[in-house]
Structure 1
Amino acid sequence: MQRICVIGGSRYFGKLLVERLAATGHQVTVINRGSHQPPAPVEHLVVDRNDEASLLAALGPRTFDVVVDQVCYTPVQAAIAARAFAGRTRRYVMTSTIEVYDPATAALPAVPAGVPVREESVDPATWRVALDLPWHDEAYLDAHYAEGKRQAEAVLTRAGGFAFASVRSAHVLGGGVQEFTGRLAHYAEHVRQGKEITVHAKALPTVFIHYEELADLLLWAATATGFRGPVNACSDGLLDVRALTAIVAAQAGRDPSYRVVAAGEPASPFSYDRHYAMSNARAKGWGFAFSRTVDWLPGAVAEALAASPAPAPAA
């Protein structure tokens, strides 16, 4: 049994992670602001992680074997966490994102299309940190989501006081109504309703992961290994937007309707005119076995279709 603190962990794959940690006998403490109740039986500390004094007061004398941070989006949040948990945990795992590799959001090493991006393409040990940017502003943070994650990783990598690992998640799908991003629901609705799906003329493939598999990988990262640094989390196999839509269309029994947009213009989720699909070789090398996207995606699509509005009857 380990003492594990999960920051966030009250919905989607975070909630599932907490449930699985508790089910495997770990002593779990969940920290959040109280808007969502964690699954029982776990300890629940209601506190704003952005308020350092309140966080320290809530933690009291507690120590942990591992902290899993599901909701660290900025270097300021990371700096508060680094101070609060230094000497209080031996290991800190942060949930990060494939978006750290998006070449539209930073000057990154060029990777040829079709070559999976490896973790060293974004090295948090050398990434520049700017704590004085307006990270508290929601609009700024939304527009700089990828950079916030890169800088958060950088702060925690350099913090000392604990071993640090970041899990860079691919696009997460599955869970039907639980899937709060709504991206698979977008396709289910558009195909069923005959709405246009906007795509780039040369849409490039990306990578995905099922929410249950991501929960499993986070549990593994927290409890079963001693690795440090970033690790990519994605199921095997790349899909572009048309291949994904074809799976939706096959189950919906309707042909999709596409409209092509110019390079650089906004398009439907998962239509990319730039390449940053990840490699999962590092996690495999450390012993994690991934599923294949094409094996679990039809089930996730069925859940999304079941939750999407039925087409309106013809007049």
Structure 2
Amino acid sequence: MLHHDAAHLSVLYLGGTGTISASCVRLSVETGMRVTVVNRGRNDQDRSLPDGVETLIADVGDSAGLAAAIGDRTFDAVVNFLSYDIDDARRMVTLFGPRARQYVHISSASIYAKPVRQIPISESTPTAPNPHLAYATAKRRAEQVLQDAHVTQGFPLTVVRPSHTYDDANPPLPGGWTVVDRIARGAEIPVHGDGTSLWTLTHAEDFAQGLVGLLGNPRAIGETFNITGSDVYTWDQIYTIVGEALGVTARLVHVASEMYPLVAPGWFWSGEMLGDIGHSAVFDTTKIRTFVPGFSPRLTFHRAASRMVGWRRDHPDTTKPDADTEAVLTRIVGAYHAARDVFAARGAA
């Protein structure tokens, strides 16, 4: 039987130093939970584990190695940030069915059918395979396997769907620190569509409030939760805010979403332009607020952008621009100008 006395909860995190998971681990420790993290022993230098966390060394993708590392131990809650596809989901059911009183699957809000026919997006909004985004399709299928295991086997599942979650070390921009660098030096930034679609941003510290609040709660078994903030901006505003934090004016050019896969077919974010971030996404968080009354996101992107600029200043080695990403962004901006020049020439003829 689950209990909700945080000081006595034993929690296992699969993945604990990532963009989202690091904040959740920190808050779990601060709350008094006994936290164990499974990773391969190569902690992200920007997101070290707090004191008091037990580390088990294993590759989560290796069933035998993971089972050996865990042994016969059981946990009040297991939180999996790394589960991705059908086969992986099935492995988790087999491994943690007898070892977890609650299994929290970190899914993704990208699984909601696009375009969304009604906003805000609630947990009952239809999901669908995403032909433009293999990641979203795989996440949806994994979630379906786990839901079936809950219904047929009593697997103690809680599903969490984050949307675009970031932290100080990982800016929520297509292209990451390379985009920040371009803004800082005055290079043009491609923005999909006309820059006015609405997008929800959530800092990992705020996401952690909702996730940690669900751990050990028996009412959360069998339930699905959107965990996002209420920080909604247009994409033009997002880039402009980063520029303001840097003390410069962001130079934006608007590129049709359909152009990205044509100009940069191998770039991950090209699929995102058509399959996810090219659409407006505003979320209904009534359910998580009901189950976790203390859930109250505090970090607006204006404040977070200033923190990210400070992080960039203090961590120059890990916030450098990436040459491949720079080339992609330059190519997309070049395609925009080439198309504009063609039509300008036609207009002058």
Q: How many residues align?
A: 284
1:251 aligned residue: 245
Give the percent of matched residue pairs that are identical in Structure 1 and Structure 2.
25
Q: 1:32 to 1:245 in 2, by over 3 A?
A: same
How far apart are 1:180 and its partner, in Å? 7.3
In 2: Cα distance, 1:291 partner to 1:187 partner:
26
* Corresponding residue to 1:179 among 163, 170, 177: 170
Moved more, 279-288 or 181-190: 181-190
Q: Deviations over 1:14-72 (max 9, x none)?
A: 12322322233222221122222743322222112222222222221101111111111
**Which protein is richer in helix relative to its size?**
2
Q: TM-score, normalised by structure 2?
A: 0.72
Q: Per the alignment, in what secondary structure is the counterpart of residue 111 of structure 1? A: coil
Q: Per the alignment, in what secondary structure is the counterpart of residue 238 of structure 1? A: strand
Q: Deviations over 1:108-132 (max 9, x none)?
A: xx514xx211112246xxx89xxxx
1:146 aligns with 2:150: no
Q: 1:256 to 1:91 in 2, by over 3 A?
A: same
Q: Per the alignment, in what secondary structure is the counterpart of residue 201 of structure 1? A: coil
2:100 aligned residue: 89
* Corresponding residue to 1:158 among 124, 148, 166: 148
1:264 aligned residue: 258
Letter of the 1:152 counterpart: A
In 1: Cα distance, 2:95 partner to 2:165 partner:
29
1:303 aligned residue: 307
In 2: Cα distance, 1:182 partner to 1:244 partner:
8
In 2: Cα distance, 1:196 partner to 1:214 partner:
32
1:16 aligns with 2:23: yes
Letter of the 1:94 counterpart: H
Letter of the 1:274 counterpart: H
Q: Per the alignment, in what secondary structure is the counterpart of residue 19 of structure 1? A: helix
In 1: Cα distance, 2:260 partner to 2:296 partner:
31
1:72 aligns with 2:83: yes
Determine if contact 1:90/1:161 at 8 Å carries over to the other structure. Answer: no
1:289 aligns with 2:295: yes
1:2 aligns with 2:9: yes
Q: Deviations over 1:71-115 (max 9, x none)?
A: 1111211111110011211111122222112527xxxxx514xx2
In 1: Cα distance, 2:210 partner to 2:77 partner:
15
Query: Unpaired runs of 5+ in structure 1?
Result: 105-109, 129-141, 311-315
Moved more, 301-310 or 237-246: 301-310
1:188 aligns with 2:180: yes
1:204 aligns with 2:220: no
In 2: Cα distance, 1:207 partner to 1:20 partner:
22
How far apart are 1:186 and its partner, in Å? 4.6
Aligned residues: CA RMSD: 3.0
* Corresponding residue to 1:54 among 31, 45, 65: 65
How far apart are 1:235 and its partner, in Å? 1.0
Letter of the 1:242 counterpart: D
